[in-house]
Structure 1
Amino acid sequence: MAKIGEGDKRWIVEDRADGANVHNWHWAETDCLDWSRNFLTNLLCNKTILSGEGNLYIKTKNIEKLEGEAYLNVRKGKVIPGYELNLVLSYEAEVKDSDGSSVILNTEGTVELPYIADENSGEDPEIRITVKDDGPVGKRVKEAFLAKGKPFVFEKVKDFVIAMAKGGPAKDDLEVKKVTVKKPTSDYGSAASSGNVSASNSGSSVKESKKKQEKRNEGFKTITMTEKFNCRAKDLYEILMDENRWKGFTQSNARISKEVGGEFSIFDGSVTGKNVELLEGKLIVQNWRFGSWPDGIQSKVRLSFDEPESGVTVVKLTHTDVPEEDRYGNSTVVENTEKGWREIIFHRIRTVFGFGI
């Protein structure tokens, strides 16, 4: 691409006063960090958590820290949010004696959510609660915040996730196009109206079946990937089916059955499923479901292992029925799932176990 003032003018791209990104056809990115800070401040700050229950009074104060990034990509009216935030919220607490006549402790504390991110938007984030007083009364305050304040914080974070999925600060600028789809006349009906009904019923049946299948596939995608490793096929198979090794390379909790029909839970429970077919060193077929997906939706993972030469394994991944959106309207599901396979699973296996090619 030539710069302005250089090269063939037909290939020069420059800003124009009359330019318009109609229907957000081109990618438009909006920085949302300041908006996120204001939004979360309104949701979380100066809110009463406890007001006398058990002689405890707890109230949130300020957002002490909000670091990271938050942005929205929009194209053709489709919202793709992205965010990785570290949030620290302060709170104050007061504890009175049994008859409520005098204060026995005034203290403060913090609530930290170190990783609020689009990739775990369907999960409750990690939360760390501290209190300045580490005595028995301070411990009561911390336990009370865990019981009452933690659900409150998670609820407000979920509100933020939903707001980002709907467009955040760019919501009012998004143009929603309503498309009226004309219902097509069936092949049989068209033929009948023209006096030609000689098509076979079997042909119409095949077309109808194809249409139904296409309808079922709407809103779902298939991820395919081929990866090469410097190891034996049975070693790679064992890593993917061994919960202790899985914990090692993902740095997350995992429970994995090695039996057909057995269940598994990986990535701290954010992915669950069941083994459908297992052939040691050859094949893994599993049902996968992410907790952030709409209820009732599950996908199928097929991993086939081939050893074209000694010490070299080729893995072919086919991940079908991956929904395009999660339960919150977040449209990055397919992108994040593909990224997870490539970077969090395959890449880390190469790095941790030395299987790089």
Structure 2
Amino acid sequence: MTDFSLIIPTFNESKNISILIPKLISLFEKNNIKFEIIVVDDDSPDGTWRVAKELSIRDERIHVIRRANKKGLSSAVIEGMELAKGNALGVIDADMQHDESILPKMLIALKENDLVVGSRVVEEGGYGEWGFVRRMMSKAATLLARILLPIPIGDPMSGFFILKRELFEEIAPLINPRGFKILLEFLGRKKGIRAKEIGYVFRTRIHGETKMSSSIIQNYIVALYDIRFGKYISLTFVKYSITGVIGIFVNLFGQFFATEVLNLKETGIIYQSYFKPSIAVVFGFELSVLSNYILNNIWTFNEFKKTGALDNIFGFIKFNLISVIGLIIQLSVWRLSLEIIQMYFPNMFGSFSTYISNLLGIFLATFGNYFLNKNFTWRYSE
């Protein structure tokens, strides 16, 4: 029977993993811990998975998962935990910056808690050689998490923790595998978790390069939003709506440019007797459609981003057709609701009637466009 399953998510950590795993084995054997180590590697170019595989040949308690088409720390941890056999499940980075020597103490503390975190902010903990700026960034991120989420610990940014299998099985269906800080997912998805922190000093990386980048900050904010508000309003929809607002300004700019610079002022297309847009309006509309497609492709639906030329051409055609459908929905709702207001509430809204009607049309068209684009243009699943 395995008491403890330790998950090590890796990417380009070949030099570190060959040092860390023997140290872990020695530590666990010394403390009579029945264990397994699961390395989940995202197809590292430096062959981390190969190094781990060689170690696993010599010790059957080491298991290696090589993921060819999946990326990301959270999904790697979840995949490892799903295959784990231990009653206690743990996570440690492969870069040697987490102090593995406190794992036995963490396992003892887990007996009276649901989750135990290796912490840099409690007694015997510290940030090591971190500079002032990085310390302040970490503290700001921690403060933001504590404001938005019901977090019972002081170091929610830690990637070093263990938890009981029952807690994982309860929360796993709620976790967003695209999230960045996996500990946040466990702490933020359930209230009343019994948690304890064990201090350790964060060590300096010896081999390899840090994964810290500007995208990590963005991913952290995204994770906070998803945990706190995602069940009410999808983050993807928020990004889609922001893109749409940007598109409004692009549309107006396109109309201005076509009118004042290209001198396209005459009426050229008639969709309905009550709607006679000038060529400049059509130019602005198409320019906004193009900008919206590009932004949605690289940002809103970036995990399903279209890359090939042909793929993008067909994607843009779909997006354009759906945008036209959205425009028809908007105009139809605007026209219908305006007539209803003028018929039944002629004096209630006055000159604002047309704006209220148009706002309703925009709202319904946005939802319609989002649904169609998510399911047909990008075939996105949340």
TM-score range, shorter chain: under 0.3
TM-score relative to the length of structure 2: 0.23
- Structure richer in helix, relative to its length: 2
